[in-house]
């Protein structure tokens, strides 16, 4: 009886799994086809010839492996920087009663509303004046700072829900503000930090605009730039190797997701219910 009751759930789960896995499967099969097969054969068809050479092209011609490494070089320290700074700001905004707090919170939140394209020229001008084109540290700082508004918004909101009695008892026991933040409050804020971290990481990992404008050294291209290697001058592109590149670039993201799966899922529902 119980088993019968569960049947619809299983059926729904299978349908959902098929729907969600289909794009991945489509990308995988397309990564082994050429343009003629991709456009003319059925979307469910297997490749006529399994073109593993597409993967070789992605790795050699588009230098995907180097691009993945670069994306990590931008994304890991960028996310780390963003989270450390955002945690400290969120700590002040949520745990201290300062007059400026309302203004500061709005100031950071406004960052969420500024479109990235409006920043292209002023930032390029500053970077040009400082001769910092093609610089990893610059890109890391830039990415980290761009992701801060959302991280501050998420972390501050979550931190406000943590009881202030914790702070008081810690201070009575002689705890300083740095230790209070990083050893007591930060672990409790982990669901929000994880969410902000994951969102920032993928945002930086997939960026295109800033890499186009501030990077001209092809050895510093990130994955979005590398994936454009197979686009020709008039829009014609070799889709097989492009899909192969996409498959290669999503592997690390799946690994990151699986490693932090629990935290991401917790983070997504963080703050949904007040305890």
Partner 1 sequence: MKVMKKTHWTLSLLLICSLVLSACGSSGGSDSSSNGGKGGKKTQVRIMTRLSGSDLKSKAFNELLDKFKKENPDIEVVNESVNDETSYNNKFKTAVATGNVPNIWMNYGGQSFKVYAENIAMDLQPVLDEDKAWSGAFKPLFSGWQYSDIQGTFAVPMEDSSVAIYYNKDLFKKAGVEPPKTIEEMTALVEPFKKIGAVPMLMGDKENFRGGHLINNLSFKRFGFQKTEDLISRKAKWNDPDMFQLFQLMKDWQSAGVLGDNIVTLDSNGTTAQFLAGKSAMLFEGNWAISQLSSSDMADQIGVIPFPYFADHPENKDVWFGTAGGYSVSKSISGAEKDATIKLLKYLTNEDAFKYFAQATKGGTYPVNVELDSSQIDPVTKEYMEAQKSAKTFLSEIETYDNIPSLQDKLRSEIQGMFAGASPQQTADNVQKVVDSNH
Residues that bind partner 1 (CB under 8 A): 35-36, 38-40, 57, 61-62, 73, 77, 120-121, 124-125, 128, 131-138, 140, 179, 208-209, 212-213, 216-220, 225, 228-239, 241
Q: How far apart are CA 36 and CA 30, in angstroms?
A: 11
Q: What is 113-152 written as a DSSP string?
A: GS-GGGGHHHHHHHHHHTT-SS-HHHHHHHHHHHTHHHHH
Nearer residue to partner 1 within complex by CB, 241 or 267: 241
Helix (H, G, I), strand (E, B) or coil at 251: helix
Nearer residue to partner 1 within complex by CB, 165 or 173: 173
- The nearest distance, CB 18 to partner 1, in angstroms, is 25
Nearer residue to partner 1 within complex by CB, 79 or 195: 79
**Both structure tokens of 154:** 């998420």
- The nearest distance, CB 40 to partner 1, in angstroms, is 4
- The nearest distance, CB 98 to partner 1, in angstroms, is 26
- The nearest distance, CB 253 to partner 1, in angstroms, is 22
- The nearest distance, CB 173 to partner 1, in angstroms, is 14
Nearer residue to partner 1 within complex by CB, 155 or 214: 214
Q: How far apart are CA 203 and CA 84, in angstroms?
A: 17
Residue 51 contacts residue 240 (beta carbons within 8 Å)? yes
Nearer residue to partner 1 within complex by CB, 101 or 134: 134
Nearer residue to partner 1 within complex by CB, 177 or 271: 177
- The nearest distance, CB 19 to partner 1, in angstroms, is 22
Query: Could you tell me which residues come within 8 angstroms of residue 188 by beta carbon, excluding any fewer than 6 positions away?
Result: 162, 166
The length of the chain, given as a count of residues:
275
Nearer residue to partner 1 within complex by CB, 59 or 104: 59
Q: Which residues pair with 237 in a beta bridge?
A: 231
Residue 140 contacts residue 77 (beta carbons within 8 Å)? yes
Residue 112 contacts residue 149 (beta carbons within 8 Å)? yes
- The nearest distance, CB 124 to partner 1, in angstroms, is 4
Query: By C-alpha distance, which of 172, 167, 204 is closest to 189?
Result: 167
């Amino acid at each position: 009886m119980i088993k019968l009751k569960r049947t619809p759930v299983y059926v729904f789960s299978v349908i959902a799994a098929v729907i969600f896995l289909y794009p991945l499967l489509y990308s995988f099969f397309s990564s082994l086809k050429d343009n003629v097969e991709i456009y003319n054969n059925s979307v469910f068809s297997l490749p006529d010839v399994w073109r593993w050479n597409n993967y070789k092209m992605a790795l050699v011609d588009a230098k995907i492996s180097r691009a993945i490494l670069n994306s990590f070089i931008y994304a890991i320290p960028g996310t780390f920087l963003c989270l450390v700074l955002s945690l400290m700001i969120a700590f002040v905004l949520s745990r201290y009663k300062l007059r400026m707090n309302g203004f500061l919170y709005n100031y950071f939140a406004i960052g969420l509303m500024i479109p990235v394209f409006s920043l292209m020229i002023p930032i390029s001008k500053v970077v040009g004046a400082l001769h910092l084109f093609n610089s990893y540290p610059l890109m890391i700082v830039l990415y980290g700072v761009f992701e801060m508004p959302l991280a501050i918004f998420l972390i501050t909101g979550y931190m406000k829900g943590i009881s202030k009695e914790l702070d008081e008892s810690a201070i009575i026991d002689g705890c300083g503000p740095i230790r209070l933040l990083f050893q007591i409050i930060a672990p409790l804020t982990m669901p929000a930090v994880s969410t902000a971290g994951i969102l920032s990481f993928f945002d930086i990992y997939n960026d295109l605009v800033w890499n186009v404008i501030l990077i001209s050294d092809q050895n510093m291209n990130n994955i979005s730039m590398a994936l454009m290697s197979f686009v020709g001058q008039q829009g014609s592109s070799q889709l097989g190797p492009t899909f192969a590149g996409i498959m290669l670039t999503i592997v690390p993201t799946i690994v990151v997701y699986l490693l932090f799966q629990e935290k991401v899922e917790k983070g997504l529902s963080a703050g949904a219910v007040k305890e």
